[in-house]
Structure 1
Amino acid sequence: MHHGNAPSGLLARIRLCDQQEASAHELLRPVAGWITGHVARPHPGLGRRGAVCPFVPLAQRLGLIRFALADPPVHDEDGLAAAVAALKAHWLAMEPVSGQHTIDKTIVLVLPGAAAATVVRVHDRLKPEFVADGLMLGEFYPGHPGPGLHNPGFRPLHCDVPLLVARSMVGNDLPFLTERRYPPARRAGFVESFLRHQTGASTGTRERARAELEHARDELGHPLPE
């Protein structure tokens, strides 16, 4: 791994482990087992074929999943936000920094003892900074109510331990950036970032993104430029 231009003090806020190290670590072992035994496998409640997260099996085979712990541990919102800033810096510095497998690298920040409400606030606060750089910040916690895309009764974001996950944005992320719970200004910003970073997305997806951007700007009273 190289650390690029990220300040070393920021990177030192979290410690990274690979799959093997995580499997031997008391706090990381349950999460590593959950990813291998649940996220990387099909599930009857999913509503489609394939793994719960279709990108995880390849990311595992390539050795591109890292597990992270805040060091020292954090529970308050500002401490969590600092750990998430370090998470983003580590993702950007982690190899590969270019090429086709950049989309396969994933860092799972494990937050034992963090309150779900704090995780939600930090996620909402920092997600725009990830999306602006072509990344996604995922949130998982016990009892997460977020429904599956293909089966509203499935709860893909439930995990027994709170997590925040950094990964690359992909074309299939458009629905997660246009949720109506976001105010129109945030949706517009997210979709602008999506269109900037997802130049290789399908024509249909980019058309849907343009329509979503137009809709958000209509709500704001700012029409799309011709």
Structure 2
Amino acid sequence: MDLAGMMGGMRAYRRWFEHLGPDMGQRALMVIFPDIHGHDVHGLVDSVQRRLKSEFVDRGLMIGEFHSGPPAAPGLHNADFRPLRSPLPMLAIRAMVPSDLPFLRGDTRHCAAYRARFGKEPR
């Protein structure tokens, strides 16, 4: 699977997830890619997440990347903790929650989507 195929697939899963109804905040969708191989699986998963994040955040959703490589970001409260490790490459979709603000702060578009959803002014 290539970048375009993964992005198209994740957009289709996003549309499906959005149709789950008003209680989607209690759900998460894990999309596992057991058949992608090669020397840059981590880069592929990270790239799909990075390229789709704004699109998902604009819709009140989060997309997270998981793989066996070293995560790009440390844990929020412990720099030695690497929370996004997984033996299989995958991407997760879930509804945005108020505690997501630290993951959105670096981007004005993301902060605007957060304010639109929660009505809070990020500090």
Pairwise same-fold verdict (TM > 0.5): yes
Provide the residue aligned with 2:25 in structure 1. Answer: 103
Correspondence for 2:2 among 70, 76, 81? 76
User: Displacement of 1:90 after TM fit?
Assistant: 1.2
The aligned length equals 118
Correspondence for 2:59 among 121, 124, 133? 133
1:143 partnered with 2:63: no
Query: For the aligned residues, what is the CA RMSD?
Result: 1.3
Q: How does 1:204-223 map to 2 (within 5 A)?
A: 206-207=120-121, 209=122, 211=123
Q: How does 1:190-201 map to 2 (within 5 A)?
A: 190-199=110-119
Q: How does 1:17-56 map to 2 (within 5 A)?
A: none
User: Displacement of 1:171 after TM fit?
Assistant: 0.6
Q: Which runs of 4+ in 1 moved over 3 A?
A: none
> d(CA) in 2 for partners of 1:77 and 1:102?
27
Consecutive unaligned residues of structure 1, counting only runs of 5 or more, are 1-74, 180-186, 200-205, 212-226
SS for the counterpart of 1:123 is: helix
TM-score with structure 2 length normalisation? 0.89
> d(CA) in 1 for partners of 2:66 and 2:85?
6
The amino acid that maps onto 2:86 is: C
Correspondence for 1:92 among 18, 26, 32? 18
Cα deviations by residue, 1:29-71 (Å, 9 ceiling, x for unpaired): xxxxxxxxxxxxxxxxxxxxxxxxxxxxxxxxxxxxxxxxxxx
Question: Do the aligned partners of 2:67 and 2:88 also contact (CA within 8 Å) in 1?
Answer: yes
Cα deviations by residue, 1:180-216 (Å, 9 ceiling, x for unpaired): xxxxxxx0100000000123xxxxxx34x1x3xxxxx
User: Displacement of 1:113 after TM fit?
Assistant: 3.6
User: Displacement of 1:102 after TM fit?
Assistant: 2.7
SS for the counterpart of 2:8 is: helix
> d(CA) in 2 for partners of 1:83 and 1:198?
28
SS for the counterpart of 1:117 is: helix
The amino acid that maps onto 1:172 is: S
SS for the counterpart of 2:53 is: helix
The amino acid that maps onto 2:95 is: S
